[in-house]
Structure 1
Amino acid sequence: MVTTLSPPAPREEPAAAPQACGHRDFGLSYQVIWDFVSISNNLEDMRRAWAKLFGISGSQWLILMAIADLDQGKGVSVGDVSQKIHAVSTFVTTQTKILERMGLLNRVPSTEDARVVLMSLSEDARCKIDHLSPRWEALHEYIFRDFDAEALADVKAKLEMLKHRTKLAMQRVVEQT
């Protein structure tokens, strides 16, 4: 009598936990997103606290910081500030006019294109910011103290990638609605 061996019966994989309404478990990526939300909220609270020292709103503080960051000595356009802070130009224009009236900004027409307004910090704003610089630098040192230059560059590169992808994802959401 010839005995043939039959292949072993296929092993059944453990059944996956049922997913309610098509829910998928993204686990760690969801936690990263919630961490971003938390970081964003903390930065917003810090922005409001700094702004309070100037007697301005958090949005106005953000505009001042964007101008300080972007200005290379020739002034910065409303469009450049709008792009940096992800706000519409009409909002930036309105807020910068208020900041100008408060003596914190200078606004002048561009010599190359009179339709463009170039903004720079006033001497008063520069002095106030310089006065706060040691506190500002101490906070940055504290926040980033565990990052060497290479690690910080790596984080920045990954955040740039995520910023780009979230922008594309947002556009997809808008298109699908």
Structure 2
Amino acid sequence: MDGPNRRNPLDADLTIRSAGQETTRELAWEIASINAYLEEIHQIWANTLGLSYPQFRLLMALSMGDGVAVNVVAKMLHVEASFVTSQSKALEKRGLLHRRPCSTDRRVVRLSLSDKAYRQLGDLVQQQAALDEFIFREFAVPEKSSFILILAILKRRIEKVRHRAALDCLPTATNCGHDITASGDSSSEEPPDVRRPSQCQPKPQGG
């Protein structure tokens, strides 16, 4: 028989798992806090320019490329294409962007910043460059690239979890294994089921 002071190896395993889960939760909270702070900064800048927060984000997305399709901008901002269309029309009226049909497919509308928008964003771009230097001063270019890669992996996995959580379970148990590749990630890696088990139970037949 084991002595009274003999330690169960499962206890150590549970301790390690608990510590790992706690670290994961801390990481998730830190990421959420970073996002909240960035949103607050962007909201302040948006107010400075007399824009709404979504309009400011749209302009910032366009500053990273010229002639960006509406559906691409929508994916970048995680919103519906119809929302980008309505906001871009409002910004076009203010002379802050151009809406032009694609030369090869006129059904596709491409958005680009106007000279007026570049002038208004100019001071903010300089401020952002200074802030980036302050925020990421410990990151060399290789470290920054590796960090971005890790964040991209996390983003894709979280997107899959979000997509799976949003799916409504169909009334039969055999239909509970939904295809989650619609989230945009073509990898075969699937997250664990995040729904309540009761949601995937077959409904009792009447009669």
TM-score w.r.t. length of structure 2: 0.72
TM-fit CA distance, 1:131 = 3.0
Q: Does 1:77 align with 2:77?
A: no
What whole-Å deviation, never above 9, does each CA across 1:59-99 have from its counterpart, x for those lacking one? 1111001111122xxx1110110011111101111111111
Identity rate of aligned residues, in percent? 34
| Rounded Cα–Cα distance in structure 2 between residues aligned with 1:145 and 1:131 | 21
Q: What's the CA shift for 1:53?
A: 1.9
The answer to whether structure 1 residue 93 and structure 2 residue 88 are counterparts is no
| Paired position in structure 1 for 2:2 | 9
Q: What's the CA shift string for 1:10-64, capped at 9, x where partnerless? A: 6352996xxxxxxx77201001111111001001001111111211011111100
Asked if 1:114 corresponds to 2:109, the answer is no
Which residue of structure 2 lines up, in the alignment, with residue 59 of structure 1? 54
- Find the aligned partners of 2:72 and 2:83 in 1 and give their Cα distance: 13
1:174 CA displacement: 2.1
Q: RMSD of aligned C-alpha atoms?
A: 2.1
* 2:205 equivalent in structure 1: none
Which of the pair has more CA radius of gyration? 1
128, 131, 143: which one pairs with 2:120? 128
Secondary structure at 2:111 match in 1: strand
Distance of 1:139 and 1:172 partners within structure 2: 36
User: What amino acid does structure 2 have at the position aligned with 1:130?
Assistant: G
Deviates more, 1:35-44 or 1:104-113: 104-113
5+ long unaligned stretches in structure 2: 12-17, 168-194, 200-207
Report the 3-state secondary structure (helix = DSSP H, G, I; strand = E; otherwise coil) of the residue aligned with 1:63. Answer: helix
Are positions 1:156 and 2:142 aligned together?
Answer: no
Aligned length: 161
TM-score normalized by the length of structure 1: 0.83
